[in-house]
Amino acid sequence: MIPTTENSLPGLKNFSENFQTYRMICNLQSKSTQQPGCCTNVSSKHPRVADWLQIIKPTAYKVHKKMNYNNKRFSPVANTENGETSAQTIFEYKQNGNILTSQYSGGEIVKGHLIGLVDDQGNIEMRYHQVNKKGGLMTGICFSKPEILENGKIRLHETWEWTSGDLSKGKSVLEEL
């Protein structure tokens, strides 16, 4: 429901709420019929709403919609030498809410799994484990930051660290297939 009291608009807690409310207001302005559950006294002519729209509207265009990795496939295009993934490694992502999981294999990796959390900007904090062709069980942590390419695909810039073996750190880049 859209907030309508005089003090409720400035009291919104975060941008996600603001953007969602902005979209709801825009939907109300563009529809001539009343929707169930929507309030009817919110319009851009209301002074508080008009002021608020001038503040929030420019900001809304700077933020991409919430990232969803569900059913996306990725492959590395770059990795530091101490990493085990290669262009032959395929990651198959699944996302439910902010929980991300993946199975992956290929190249030097026989089988791997990861689990992570996706924040509002699409960044991923994850933990992974994998079995390599040498029979070694390797584990690590990874932080991924998304970039949207001109073709609409996602590129992930990753900083990772082994939590087994030599405990070294590295960087990799994955691109959506």
Nearest by Cα to 121 from 40, 65, 78, 163: 65
Return the CATH fold of 73-176. Answer: Lipocalin (2.40.128)
3 state DSSP class of 101: strand
3 state DSSP class of 103: strand
How would residue 114 be classed by pLDDT, with cut points 50, 70 and 90? very high
Q: Where does the chain hold its CATH 2.40.128.30 domain(s)?
A: 73-176
3 state DSSP class of 80: coil
- Report the pLDDT averaged over residues 30-46: 45
> Whole-number mean pLDDT of the chain?
78
Question: For the whole model, what pTM was predicted?
Answer: 0.63
